[in-house]
């Protein structure tokens, strides 16, 4: 795991396997603690875990996590090499997956997908001031 950071941004290269989500959660918690935004940690960890888990499950590659501290919010971005868009599903209660985008839609103040020639970035924002 390679990490780059400055006062207002953190960028972490995540592995392709199951350890990616844990590494992402730890990075999110560390950044929010440094920025005195620990109250955002439970939701930020959950949504980040969902996005990174989607990469592990559906793309099977390494990804990059980027957190940016903005004046009144944080932005969390997960980049991967696939151009396939995330699919919003309405899973049956008995299904054990398929709720990631629903959670992001429900808890984020904004979210989206930026597609580029070499992949995509799925991002969300959470409101919060230090």
Specify the pLDDT at position 2.
47
Give whole-number Cα distances, 42 to 46, 47, 103, in Å. Answer: 6, 9, 13
CATH code for the structural domain at 2-127? 3.30.565.10
What pLDDT shows up at residue 92?
A: 60
pLDDT value of position 74: 96
Low-confidence ranges of the chain (pLDDT < 50): 1-2
Distances (CA, A) of 40 to 13, 52, 70: 22, 18, 14
Q: Parse the chain into domains and list their residue ranges.
A: 2-127
């Amino acid at each position: 795991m390679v990490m780059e950071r400055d006062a207002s941004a953190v960028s972490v290269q995540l592995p392709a396997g199951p350890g990616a989500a844990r590494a992402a959660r730890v990075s999110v918690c560390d950044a929010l603690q440094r920025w005195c935004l620990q109250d955002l940690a439970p939701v930020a960890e959950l949504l980040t875990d969902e996005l990174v888990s989607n990469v592990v499950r559906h793309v099977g590659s390494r990804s990059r996590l980027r957190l940016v501290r903005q004046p009144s919010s944080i932005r969390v971005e997960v980049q991967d090499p696939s151009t396939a868009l995330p699919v919003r599903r309405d899973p049956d209660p008995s299904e054990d997956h398929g709720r990631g985008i629903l959670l992001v839609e429900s808890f984020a103040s904004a979210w989206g997908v930026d597609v580029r020639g070499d992949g995509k970035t799925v991002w969300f924002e959470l409101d919060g001031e230090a």
